[in-house]
Structure 1
Amino acid sequence: MKALIKITEQNGKQAVSARELHSFLEIKDKFADWIKRMFEYGFIENIDYQSLSDFSEKPNGGRPLINYALTLDCAKEISMLQRSDKGKQARRYFIECEKKLKTTLPTTYKEALLELIKKEEEKEVLLLQNQEQQAQLEAQAPKVLFTEAVMGSKTSCLIGELAKVITQNGYEIGERRLFKYLRENGYLGRKGERYNIPNQKYVEQGIFELKKGTRSGSGGVMHTTITTKVTGKGQVYFVNKFLKHLQSA
């Protein structure tokens, strides 16, 4: 059977677009005037039809057009009310669609049981999919907890410790390779007195901090020491950065 008018599903029931029916019936009156007149024949909203906003008929934007989803019974009666060849054709088409639907419904206990089994299997598949999604979320939970814990922590860590944290979160990298990466990408100085010292920009952003101390040298001479440490914010920053590298690889 050739599809004369598109039939969709609305809230579990077959439905017809009022605008498509208006077009098929070749009604000369404006849609809004025509459908208002049709509804005056006693059709009840939310039983015989439902109103909806149809954005698809405004490809260039603008205000949405009002459309209605008609039940097959409603569409049949409206078609008959037109008293035209097109109206008769539409009514016969809807009757054939109803007959086709009835032939697909279970007529015996066995058919009904098989239909029930099929629906239960579909539910089981959906349940398994939900369980898989839940398992995936639970697998990601440690990383989320790590992020929240580190963001709230005031404890900074050494570069070597950061390498371990990044590795624990899925991207394998050692201390030396991490130092090299930080130097080559401008986070740390590459030469002279600035070697492995953070770029001031990243210190101001709160990614690194410098810990100053003293140590005793030969002859009892005291020397000032500077240690580069990664803040909690910096740890989250670099973990996320390396995980993005992992995802794009």
Structure 2
Amino acid sequence: MSDLIPTINESDRILVSGRDLHEFLEIGTQYTKWFDRMKDYAFVENTDFVEVSQKKLTSHGREHVMINHHLTIDMAKEISMLQRNERGKQARQHFLEIERKWNSPEMVMKRAMDYLNERVEKLQTENLVLVQQNNELQPKASYYDMVLQNKSLLSVSKIAKDYGMSAIKLNKKLHELGVQYKQGDIWLLYAKYQDKGYTQTTTHVIDADKSRVQTKWTQKGRLFIYSLLREQGILPLIEREEMKEGRECQTI
């Protein structure tokens, strides 16, 4: 019988196709006329049943719109009782068995778990959207922020790369601005900057007789160069790109 009267299981109720029930009960009257008569038994549309339109192909291959109804299982049981015949009794017993299984503790728990899983999935999706929107609203990390997150010593060539220039050009610029002077093969800071913690001098031993002295910049020194060059209108590449993007957004 379950194959002859299939049910539609929604999250909170069971529905029955009016046409499937009409066919099982072996009603001789045309479906729409029969159903109009059943509605006279005080069944309320959108409470006890909903009207649905279904497209169906005729034997000639033409598309035909067929009216059907989805009934609550309580309405399906009452209609079955109204028939006062064996088929009606079988249908009612069938619906009672479906209700019994639907209301079993196992099925109630399953529906509760399904609902919770759907809610969790929905909340996770909403959270991902919020995170994405928040990330889009967050400004990109500035050069200053990037420097603060770094604690290592840097060669002048690495700092120069931030500005898209060579180490030779940056050293020359710092010399022109009165920051450093060259002694032999190394650059040294002028006295006014020597005790600021901008640089550290390291010695690289080559062999027993040879060594090489290198001057590296601290992150504090890197920020000093940043402020100094900014006053000259020289910005690191990362900030130039941000300014370019900002101008492009304004013109859109």
**Larger helix share, 1 or 2:** 1
Q: Which has the larger radius of gyration?
A: 2
TM-score by length of 1: 0.45
**TM-score for both structures, normalised by structure 2:** 0.45
